[in-house]
């Protein structure tokens, strides 16, 4: 969040967070949805953007008929590619739990292919929330499980990236590749990109193996990158939410996963506040 003067009014700019990992099944969509709704419950204005052609975020928020959606992220990115203006609020769906969503469907896969021949191709997604930056406190991008053009676009648009990692050895190994991509994007496209943190998901700290993986990741990366104190426990209730179109806060409000996402929400808000203070001090 950065302050910018609009006339004499200071306008607050949204913090844009890309939720990324090229491995599938690490809890990206669950994290994007529940962190977004957690932030809304804390009084923040939140826009979620489904940047995955599979449309998992859109489905898990209750829009099952992806092909019937008139406007999706690919519609808006195609406009950006053709230099057409994107209207305020265009394509935005409103969820009952107080967040907004730009949905996605399989058309996004076709659009990703056509990005290859597009000028300034890494910055097409960045143009979509451009007009909405001053209407929201947080914009969360749910990325596709690959390191392709769409993920690079999300990283080019983001202020920070949050990396959910399943508490398993192979997931931990795949981190290296993702961190290299983040470095590359930072060097070549988006020098302001930071890493929000690594979030351990589907953890089971009752087992030795779960504890070992936790220690492994904190040991390998904790000195250079923030590893969130809060981990997200494995839970059947959390796995059910994609079928019911509700967040964990509605589906199982007293459960350990709801508690975990609430705690993560507070960590993310504290990060954003610190960042805001830092920018304000630098601007003096």
CATH number at 123 reads 3.40.50.300
Contact 36, 136 (CB under 8 A): no
Across the chain, mean pLDDT equals 88
Task: Tally the domains of the chain.
Answer: 1
- Print the domain residue range for 141: 3-282
pTM comes to: 0.91
pLDDT at 8: 38
Q: What six digits make up the tokens of 61?
A: 């928020």
pLDDT at 137: 94
Q: What six digits make up the tokens of 40?
A: 């809304």
Q: What six digits make up the tokens of 225?
A: 């990158």
Q: Which of 41, 50, 31 is nearest to 92 (CA)?
A: 50
Spatial separation of the C-alpha atoms in residues 115 and 152, rounded to whole Å: 11
Rounded mean pLDDT, 104-109? 94
Spatial separation of the C-alpha atoms in residues 42 and 73, rounded to whole Å: 27
pLDDT digits (tens, 9 = 90+) for 191-213: 999 999 999 998 887 788 878 88
What element of type H or E holds 195? strand 194-203
Residue 11 has pLDDT above 60, yes or no: no
Q: Which of 115-119, 174-178, 184-188, 276-280 has the lowest mean pLDDT?
A: 276-280
């Amino acid at each position: 969040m950065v302050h910018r003067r609009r006339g004499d009014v200071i306008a607050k700019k949204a913090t844009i967070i890309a939720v990324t990992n090229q491995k599938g099944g690490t809890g990206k969509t669950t994290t994007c949805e529940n962190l977004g709704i957690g932030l809304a419950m804390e009084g923040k204005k939140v826009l979620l953007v489904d940047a995955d052609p599979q449309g998992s975020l859109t489905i898990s928020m209750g829009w099952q008929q992806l092909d019937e959606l008139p406007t999706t992220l690919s519609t808006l990115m195609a406009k950006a590619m053709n230099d057409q203006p994107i209207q305020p609020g265009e394509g935005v769906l409103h969820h009952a739990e107080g967040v907004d969503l730009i949905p996605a469907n399989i058309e996004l896969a076709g659009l990703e292919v056509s990005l290859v021949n597009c000028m300034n191709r890494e910055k097409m997604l960045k143009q979509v929330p451009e007009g909405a930056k001053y209407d929201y406190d947080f914009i969360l991008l749910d990325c596709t499980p690959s390191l392709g053009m769409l993920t690079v676009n999300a990283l080019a648009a983001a202020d920070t990236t949050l990396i959910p990692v399943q508490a398993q050895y192979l997931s931990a190994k795949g981190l290296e590749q993702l961190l290299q991509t983040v470095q590359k994007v930072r060097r070549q496209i988006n020098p302001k990109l930071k890493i929000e943190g690594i979030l351990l998901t589907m953890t089971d700290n009752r087992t030795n193996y779960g504890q070992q993986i936790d220690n492994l990741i904190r040991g390998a990366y904790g000195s250079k990158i923030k590893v969130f104190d809060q981990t997200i426990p494995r839970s059947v209730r959390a796995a059910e939410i994609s079928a019911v179109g509700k967040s964990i806060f509605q589906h199982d409000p007293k459960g350990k996963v709801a508690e975990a996402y609430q705690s993560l929400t507070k960590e993310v808000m504290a990060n954003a506040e610190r960042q805001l203070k830092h920018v304000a001090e630098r601007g003096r």
